[in-house]
Structure 1
Amino acid sequence: MPHTDTAAVRGIKFVSIPTRDQDRALAFWTEKLGLTVATDQQFDDKQRWIELRIPGADTRLVLFTTNGSEALIGQFAPMSFWSDDVDATYQQLVDAGVEVLGPPKKAEWGSSLLFKDPDGTTFHIGSR
């Protein structure tokens, strides 16, 4: 492959979040975290393909559990969200009734917090 100034990989299209109940997960991510639906259509006889938009971001979240990935439900998510103001995000999550695992932690690089979705999956939010 010849060298160019453009990387072969240009971004992350979506991140899949395994879930037990797509309707419950959809309500959580849209009503409590403010994401919007980009796609919601039947995928097979068991699941829908649900893509959610994060306001101002190109990457989408997909509420879908691939066959054989059921054990990932309720685990620590191998991804990290970012926020311009982690303290304000903390308060928004608390006010929305999201299970937040303590107030933001401060470090030399910035602030961060952890929260859980209805399936018990733990997510990280950090400052940019």
Structure 2
Amino acid sequence: MRRVVFNRNFSVAVVVSNGKRSARWYSEKLGFESSVQGHWVTVWPKGAAWKIHLCQQRKGKLEPGNTGISFYAKDVEGTVKELKKRGVKFETDFTKSEWGSLAMLKDPDGNDIWINEDAP
């Protein structure tokens, strides 16, 4: 069987109601880089080898849900404090448990974004 090889870059698609508006939110609130090339709108943390593709809903009602987006941070509590200064509201504030620290916020379309403690 022939081996399949993928390159290292990838993106995760997240359905949003307005790609450009969502890109602005990710840039202003989370400090992400962004690129808008027609309908192809992407955002990513500076230096990351991956991107989030903000797929604009074409028609019908957008149904937000648990997208399972998780970002790791070395200092979850400090990250939450900084994001609050930028006006980000948290659904689950900074929480520390026996397995690590976490927090959860929502993007403008109600998609869940988790911030988890980066494993040492």
Q: Same fold (TM over 0.5)?
A: yes
Aligned to 1:23: 20
Of the three residues 27, 30, 34, the one matched with 1:33 is: 30
Aligned to 2:110: 120
SS in 1 for 2:20: helix
Consecutive unaligned residues of structure 1, counting only runs of 5 or more, are: 43-47
1:33 and 1:93 in contact (8 A); partners too: yes
Identity %: 26
Of Structure 1 and Structure 2, the greater strand share is in 2
CA distance in structure 2 between the partners assigned to 1:24 and 1:55 by the alignment: 19
CA distance in structure 2 between the partners assigned to 1:50 and 1:21 by the alignment: 10
SS in 2 for 1:90: helix
1:81 and 1:125 in contact (8 A); partners too: yes
Shift in alpha-carbon separation, 1:69–1:36, aligned structure 2, 3 A: farther
RMSD: 2.5
How many equivalent residue pairs? 118
Cα shift readout 1:18-57 (whole Å, capped 9, x = no counterpart): 10012220110001100012x3111xxxxx1012221232
Of the three residues 29, 54, 63, the one matched with 2:45 is: 54
- Cα drift, residue 68 of structure 1: 8.5
1:80 and 1:126 in contact (8 A); partners too: yes
1:18 and 1:69 in contact (8 A); partners too: no
